[in-house]
Amino acid sequence: MLRRSGLTRIGLLLAAGLAVTTLSSCSSDGQSAQDAYKIGCPALDAAAAGGSVVNQAAVKALQAALDSGQLDPEPMKWVEAAIDVLTSSDPADIPAGAKKMLVDGCAEHGYTLQNIE
């Protein structure tokens, strides 16, 4: 029987994988800041929980949102910080300013990070 944290990790990985798969199949022309948060927040949670399966797909989708030219400066900074964390060798080691921006950005878009405080 899996412990609660194991079930949470599996749930986060599944949610992140579904979000990334669904949203990365969209063309970069239609990606918005909201799409970036829908992709990035679950991927950040999964990365902080030790998952790396969805990181590459999430980074690709976030990079497409960044390259689309449709992001305002604030979401652009958030996406850049999310990409930095997802491509880091130690996603748990997030600078305090970046951590606050990521947590606040996810919260403002309806997602509470479970593994980043």
Q: What is the pLDDT of residues 48-107, one digit of tens each?
A: 877 666 678 888 889 999 998 889 999 999 999 999 998 888 877 889 999 999 999 999
- Confidence tier at 15 by pLDDT (50, 70, 90): low
What number is the average pLDDT over the span 29-52? 80
CA atoms within 13 A on the CB side of 106: 22
CB 34 within 8 A of CB 109: yes
Alpha helix (H) ranges present in 1-117? 4-24, 33-48, 55-67, 73-86, 96-108
Query: Are 30 and 69 in contact, with CB atoms under 8 Å apart?
Result: no
Q: For 69, left (φ over 0), alpha (ψ -120 to 50), or beta?
A: left
Cα separation of 73 and 77, whole Å?
6
Residues 103, 107: Cα–Cα separation, whole Å: 6
d(C-alpha 58, C-alpha 37), whole Å: 11
- What's the average model confidence in pLDDT over 39-51? 84
The model carries a pTM of 0.72
